[in-house]
Amino acid sequence: MTMAPTVTLASQSAIRAELLRNAGVAFETASAGVDEDALKAGLLAEGVPPRDIADALAEAKAVKVSRKRPGLVIGADSTMELAGQLYDKPASLDEARAHLLAMRGQVHRLHSAAVIAESGAPVWRHVSTVKLTLRAFSDDFLDRYIASEGDTLLTSVGCYRFEGLGAQLFSQVEGDYFSILGLPLLQVLDFLRVREALTA
């Protein structure tokens, strides 16, 4: 009987780890140590669209960790696109406010990529795009929202925790819930079953 491959999450993201753990996946975590800002800047300079930037960042993380670790390594990344422009995580609450004001009443797209690598090479990939519409919330609501969420807003490209108070920002969402949280979980689980890293 062959041993099931080990699984490593090449991320320090607490929510991605929680999604895998809750789904019954046995895994370890490892920091990829990828210079995301430099890689992203290079890709933007080449005119690479936000969807493909998410895919490239996920691949870079998975491949780097899988060169050092056996088994299957999951890399993941998300990018946010508003009117064709890539938005990064805000550096301050003032910048988060500016982002949310720009997004208010508008539709943005969240690209959630996962790449699985083995022996230093990608063996599977998936990018899920979710279309999200922010409602025309009041300035008063925005003030209360920022005061309540605080620095947690700085950990998300969209300035929201969709699983928490951030859900109140939206009027409509088209796409996969898990991808909004940062991982196209169902597709990842399908591949892990194919590779017998999960029981079918």
Q: Pick the catalytic residue from 77, 88, 139, 151.
A: 77
Q: Is the pLDDT of residue 3 over 90?
A: no
Per-residue pLDDT tens for 59-88? 999 999 999 999 999 999 999 999 999 999
What is the DSSP-derived secondary structure letter of residue 88?
P
| Cα 33 from Cα 144, distance rounded (Å) | 35
- For residues 44 and 18, is the Cβ–Cβ distance under 8 A? no
**pLDDT (mean) for 26-36:** 93
Q: Model's pTM, two decimal places?
A: 0.93
- Residue 200's pLDDT is 62
Beta-carbon contacts of residue 98 (< 8 Å; ≥ 6 apart): 90
Q: Which two tokens stand for residue 116?
A: 């699985």
Q: Is the pLDDT of residue 1 over 90?
A: no
Tell me the domains of the chain and their CATH numbers. 7-194 (3.90.950.10)
* 107: β partners: 133
Per-residue pLDDT tens for 149-166? 999 999 999 999 999 999
Active-site residue flag, 77: yes
| Cα 91 from Cα 68, distance rounded (Å) | 32
